């Protein structure tokens, strides 16, 4: 796996019972996966020589992120390396404009969009489709960085020239009036087998996903699953595909694509029969895919984000108190330093009722982040 972040760390964990040990190309020996995997090589994903040397010892190459340049991916394929997903699929997760154009061509629901070469392109788009509109960096954004809400022509005139001058490739799209955000996670093998997990709701705050509810309450499950499988097949995806969706009054609209294990699928580790990490391995190794059913009626994953002020109580003691209160909480800490807003781990809870499970997951994640119980629970106060 190229990239040594938390996705590689959790993929390594899933590789172990399959009799494998994930080989990782990490940038630093303190990357989350490099801390736990035995088979780590250090090198940059932008260095073709490093990629080539790494690929020599791998049966198949896959990814923890989408930042390997297209030309390097094509060079690896030309060398005869199995790259899954391949560059022609992966480009749709790397380049938002390519993705929008291709999905529109496939007849998938996307908002009106346009390339931006000059500020006038945005002004014309806004005049035609209305304000606000959403300006996006075509490449390289994540967790809402690279997305700017433009409320007026004046805000476009303020924001766009500066970004263009800095060399940021831009696009603009309609601001979609959405009720909520959903994610359809599927896998596809080279053999062409597909598998879809139950549709989930992703709850966002400041552009970052904070909670995932599985299954998404009252959602158009089959429509979303069929759409995601259709996209996976049409683009020739091998491995996982997350289709981020907006739920609107007029149906589903695709936001973006990710072709790797995805934050909206972390709940599957304990909450589904097969985790997304194992499924990704099965898919890229061309094994038959695993069952995707829920392991409980309600599953909630909440991200643990670094607090604005790192709590005085250390992570170990927070974990201790968490387990004292919620013995059934499933915790995954990524071995990352605590920095404000950074995803440092996640916690998953399973149960019978969504509202109850969601409340417990939210309390647990906030406790692990901030060392504070949002409901005033007293850690030394005994029963609650």
Q: Which is nearer to ligand ADP, 183 or 268 (CB)?
A: 183
Does position 146 bind ligand ADP by CB under 6 A? yes
Does position 112 bind ligand ADP by CB under 6 A? no
Figure out which of the listed residues 35, 42, 60, 147 binds ligand ADP, where binding follows CB under 6 A. 147
> Is the preceding peptide bond at 215 cis, omega within 30 degrees of 0?
yes
Figure out which of the listed residues 31, 66, 173, 247 binds ligand ADP, where binding follows CB under 6 A. 173
Q: Are 50 and 25 in contact (CB under 8 A)?
A: yes
Within 8 A by CB and 6+ apart from 180, the residues are 201, 203, 247
Does position 95 bind ligand ADP by CB under 6 A? no
Q: Which is nearer to ligand ADP, 141 or 220 (CB)?
A: 141
Nearest-approach distance from CB 4 to ligand ADP, in angstroms: 21
Angle at 24 (CA atoms; ends 9, 257), nearest 5 degrees: 65
Nearest-approach distance from CB 260 to ligand ADP, in angstroms: 13
Figure out which of the listed residues 111, 194, 239, 306 binds ligand ADP, where binding follows CB under 6 A. 111
Cite the beta strand spans of the chain per DSSP E.
23-26, 39-42, 113-116, 133-137, 147-150, 170-174, 178-188, 194-196, 200-205, 208-214, 239-248, 251-258, 298-305, 330-333, 343-351
Q: Are strands 39-42 and 23-26 parallel, antiparallel or unpaired?
A: parallel
Figure out which of the listed residues 141, 190, 341, 351 binds ligand ADP, where binding follows CB under 6 A. 141
Does position 201 bind ligand ADP by CB under 6 A? no
Figure out which of the listed residues 130, 144, 217, 314 binds ligand ADP, where binding follows CB under 6 A. 144
Does position 163 bind ligand ADP by CB under 6 A? no
Q: Residues touching ligand ADP: how many (CB under 6 A)?
A: 20
Residue window 205-244: x/- pattern of binding to ligand ADP, with contact defined by CB under 6 A = --x------------------------------------x
Angle at 283 (CA atoms; ends 277, 288), nearest 5 degrees: 110
Span of 18-26, 135-143, 342-350, 353-361 interacting with ligand ADP by CB under 6 A: 135-143
Does position 203 bind ligand ADP by CB under 6 A? no
Q: Which is nearer to ligand ADP, 163 or 176 (CB)?
A: 176
With left for phi above 0 and alpha for psi between -120 and 50, is residue 207 left, alpha or beta? left
Q: Are strands 330-333 and 343-351 parallel, antiparallel or unpaired?
A: antiparallel
Does position 42 bind ligand ADP by CB under 6 A? no
Q: Which is nearer to ligand ADP, 64 or 370 (CB)?
A: 64
How far is residue 312's CA from residue 315's CA, in Å, rounded to a whole number?
9
Q: Are 315 and 260 in contact (CB under 8 A)?
A: no
Q: Are 158 and 117 in contact (CB under 8 A)?
A: no
Does position 169 bind ligand ADP by CB under 6 A? no
Residues in the chain: 384
Grouping H, G, I as helix, E, B as strand and the rest as coil, residue 333 is: strand
> Is the preceding peptide bond at 85 cis, omega within 30 degrees of 0?
yes
Reading the block at residue 92, the tokens are 């749709």
Nearest-approach distance from CB 277 to ligand ADP, in angstroms: 20
Does position 371 bind ligand ADP by CB under 6 A? no
Q: Which is nearer to ligand ADP, 195 or 199 (CB)?
A: 199
Interface ranges with ligand ADP (CB under 6 A): 111, 134, 136, 141-147, 173-176, 181, 204, 207, 244, 255-256
């Amino acid at each position: 796996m190229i990239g040594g972040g938390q996705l590689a760390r959790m993929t390594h964990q899933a590789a172990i019972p399959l009799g494998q040990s994930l080989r990782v190309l990490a940038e630093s020996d303190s990357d989350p996966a490099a801390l736990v995997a035995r088979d780590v090589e250090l090198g940059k994903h932008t260095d073709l020589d490093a990629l080539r040397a790494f690929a020599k010892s791998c049966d198949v190459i896959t990814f923890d992120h989408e930042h390997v340049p297209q030309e390097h991916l094509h060079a690896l394929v030309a060398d005869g390396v199995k790259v899954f997903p391949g560059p022609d699929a992966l480009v749709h997760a790397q380049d938002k404009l390519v993705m929008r154009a291709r999905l529109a061509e496939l007849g998938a629901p996307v908002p009106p969009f346009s390339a931006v070469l000059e500020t006038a392109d945005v002004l014309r788009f806004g005049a035609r489709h209305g304000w606000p509109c959403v300006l996006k960096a075509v490449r390289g954004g994540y967790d809402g960085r690279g997305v700017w809400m433009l409320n007026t022509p004046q805000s476009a005139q303020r924001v766009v020239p500066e970004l263009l001058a800095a060399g940021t490739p831009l696009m603009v799209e309609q601001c979609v009036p959405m009720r909520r955000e959903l994610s359809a996670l599927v896998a596809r093998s080279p053999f062409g087998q597909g598998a879809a997990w139950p549709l989930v709701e992703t709850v966002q705050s400041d552009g970052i996903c904070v909670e995932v509810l599985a299954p998404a309450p009252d959602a158009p499950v089959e429509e979303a699953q069929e759409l995601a499988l259709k996209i996976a097949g049409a683009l020739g995806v091998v491995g996982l595909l997350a289709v981020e969706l907006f739920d609107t009054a007029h149906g589903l609209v695709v936001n973006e694509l990710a072709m790797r294990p995805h934050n909206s699928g972390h709940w599957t580790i304990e909450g589904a029969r097969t985790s997304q990490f194992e499924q990704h391995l099965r898919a890229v190794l061309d094994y038959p895919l695993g069952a995707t059913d829920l392991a409980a009626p309600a599953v909630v994953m909440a991200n643990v984000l670094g607090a604005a002020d790192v709590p005085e109580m250390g992570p170990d003691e927070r974990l201790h108190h968490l387990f004292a209160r919620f013995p059934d909480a499933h915790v995954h800490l990524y071995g990352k330093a605590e920095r404000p807003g950074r995803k440092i781990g996640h916690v998953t809870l399973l149960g019978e009722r969504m509202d109850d499970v969601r409340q417990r997951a939210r309390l647990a994640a906030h406790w692990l982040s901030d060392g504070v119980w949002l409901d005033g629970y007293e850690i030394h106060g005994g029963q609650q």
